[in-house]
Chains A and B, each alone.
Chain A
Amino acid sequence: EAGVAQSPRYKIIEKRQSVAFWCNPISGHATLYWYQQILGQGPKLLIQFQNNGVVDDSQLPKDRFSAERLKGVDSTLKIQPAKLEDSAVYLCASSSGQRTQETQYFGPGTRLLVL
C-alpha cells in the first residue's frame, strides 16, 4: 500500500513570497489533514477535510494560508505572503474516516525555510 505522498520535500523562499505544497493521500482515504510542525514542537492541525469539504480550519491563519481539495483526493496548501515564522515542516496525513479510532497516516512532510 502506497503511503501519503508530499512534494516538494524542501523549499526555501524569501519573506513575502508565495509557496504551495501538494499532498496525495492513501488511496480511498476520505479524510485529509494538514499540520504545521515547528522545530521542537508537536504538529498543530491547520485544516481537516472530509472528502472535499472542510471539517475544521479553526487554526488556519486565513489571511495568508489557504487549502483546497477540489476532487476529494489530493490537496494543496498555499501560503501567500510568507512570513519568517512560517518556517516549519508541513505534514499531510490521511485516514479512512474521521472517527477518533481511525489511525492517521502521515507523509514525510515539506520542510519550509523562510528567509
Chain B
Amino acid sequence: KNQVEQSPQSLIILEGKNCTLQCNYTVSPFSNLRWYKQDTGRGPVSLTIMTFSENTKSNGRYTATLDADTKQSSLHITASQLSDSASYICVVSHSSNTGKLIFGQGTTLQVKP
C-alpha cells in the first residue's frame, strides 16, 4: 500500500532554534518527493522537490534531504522564525502518467517567541 508517514505529529520550538521534521514513505515506484508548507487557513505551498537521484535541496532556511534507499526524507529548518509556524506536509509522487500525489498527514510546527 502506498503510504506517507510523518513525525512528529506536532512540534513546539523557540524562535531562532533549528528543527527537523521526518517523512517515511512506502510509495513505489517513486517519482519525486515534495515538502509543502501550509499556513493556517491557506492552501499548501511547495517548498522543495527532489527526484530519485537528488540527496538534498535547499530553499532559504529550509533544507530537505532524501534517502531513496531507506525511503526517508527530512526537512530541516534553520534559525526558525515566527512565520515558520505552519503545517509541513510531505508529498510523494507515484510514477504514473496522472501525476498522482500521496500526502502525509503533516507536522504542525509552532514557533514561540
**Would A103 and B103 count as touching, CB distance under 8 A?**
no
CB distance from A110 to the nearest CB of B (A): 11
CB distance from A52 to the nearest CB of B (A): 16
Given contacts A42-B103, A44-B103, A45-B101, contact A100 B43 (CB under 8 A): no
**Would B44 and A43 count as touching, CB distance under 8 A?**
yes
**Would A109 and B42 count as touching, CB distance under 8 A?**
yes
**Would A100 and B31 count as touching, CB distance under 8 A?**
yes
Question: Which residues of chain B are near A98, meaning CB under 8 Å?
Answer: 97-99
Interface size on B, residues (CB 8 A): 27
Task: Give the dominant DSSP class at A's interface.
Answer: loop
**Would A42 and B106 count as touching, CB distance under 8 A?**
yes
**Would A100 and B93 count as touching, CB distance under 8 A?**
yes
In the assembled complex, the Cα of A107 lies from the Cα of B31 at a distance in Å of: 24
Name B43's contact: one of A40, A55, A93, A103 (CB within 8 Å). Answer: A93
Name A40's contact: one of B45, B96, B98, B105 (CB within 8 Å). Answer: B105
Instruction: Mark contacts of B69-104 with chain A using CB atoms, 8 A cut-off: 1 yes-contact digit, 0 otherwise.
Output: 000000000000000000001010111111111011
User: Which of A31, A55, A100, A109: most chain B Cβ within 10 A?
Assistant: A100
A14 at the interface (CB under 8 A from B): no
In the assembled complex, the Cα of A103 lies from the Cα of B91 at a distance in Å of: 11
**Would B43 and A56 count as touching, CB distance under 8 A?**
no
Interface residues of A, Cβ cutoff 8 Å to B = 4, 31, 40-45, 48, 55-56, 91, 93, 95, 97-109, 111
Interface residues of B, Cβ cutoff 8 Å to A = 4, 31-32, 34, 41-46, 49, 51, 89, 91, 93-101, 103-106
Closest 7 CB pairs of A and B: A106-B43, A42-B103, A100-B31, A100-B93, A98-B99, A100-B99, A42-B105
